[in-house]
Amino acid sequence: MTLGPVMLDLAGIEMSAEEREMLCHPLVGGVILFSRNYASPDQLQRLVEQIHALREPRLLVAVDHEGGRVQRFRQGFTALPPARGYGRRYTQDPRHARHLAELGGWLMASELRAVGVDFSFAPVLDLDYGVSEVIGDRAFHRDAEIVGDLAQAYMVGMKRAGMAATGKHFPGHGAVAPDSHVALPVDERPLVDIEAEDLRPFERLIHAGLAGVMPAHVVYSAVDPRPAGFSAFWLQEILRGRLGFQGAIFSDDLSMQGAHVMGDIVARGEAALAAGCDMLLVCNHPQDAARLLDGLGAHDDPVSHLRLVRLHARHPLSRDELLGSEAWRQAVAALQPLHDHETLELEV
Residue 280: helix, strand or coil by DSSP?
Answer: strand
Contact partners, residue 338, CB within 8 Å, separation at least 6 = 81, 85, 86, 88, 89, 100, 104
**Contact indicator for 214, 258 with CB cutoff of 8 Å:** no
> pLDDT band at residue 347, thresholds of 50, 70 and 90?
low
Beta bridge partners of 120: 63
Residue 62's closest CA among 139, 164, 208?
A: 164
Going by C-alpha positions, the residue among 272, 122, 273, 151 that lies closest to residue 212 is 122
Among the listed residues 99, 181, 260, 312, the single catalytic one is 181
pLDDT score recorded for residue 316: 75
For 260-276, write each residue's pLDDT tens digit: 999 999 999 999 999 99
Please identify which of the residues 9, 179, 198, 252 carries the catalytic annotation.
Answer: 252
The confidence score (pLDDT) of residue 346 equals: 54
Percent of the chain with pLDDT over 70: 97
Predicted model pTM: 0.95
In this prediction, residues 312-326 reach a mean pLDDT of: 91
- The Cβ of residue 93 has, within 10 Å, a number of other Cβ atoms equal to 11
Identify the CATH number of the domain defined by range 86-336.
3.20.20.300
Amino acid at 336: Q
> What is the C-alpha separation between 5 and 292, in angstroms, rounded?
11
CA distance 102 to 330: 13
> Tens digit of pLDDT for each residue in 180-235?
788 889 999 999 999 999 999 999 999 999 999 999 999 999 999 999 999 999 99
Can 252 be counted among the known catalytic residues?
Answer: yes
> ω before 123 within 30° of 0 (cis)?
yes
- Give the pLDDT confidence of 78-94 residue by residue, as tens digits: 999 999 999 999 999 99
Domain boundaries, the chain: 86-336
DSSP state at residue 336: G
Distance CA 210, CA 202 (A): 9
In the predicted model, what is the mean pLDDT of the chain? 95
Dump pLDDT digits (tens) for 44-59: 999 999 999 999 999 9
Distance in angstroms (rounded) separating the CA atoms of residues 89 and 115: 30
Is 137 an active-site residue? no
Q: Is residue 145 within 8 Å of residue 204, measured between CB atoms? A: no
SS (H, E, C) 202-261: HHHHHHCCCCEEEECCCEECCCCCCEHHHCHHHHHHHHHHHCCCCCEEECCCCCCHHHHH
Considering only CA atoms, which of 76, 11, 19, 27 is closest in space to residue 51?
19
CA distance 233 to 217: 14
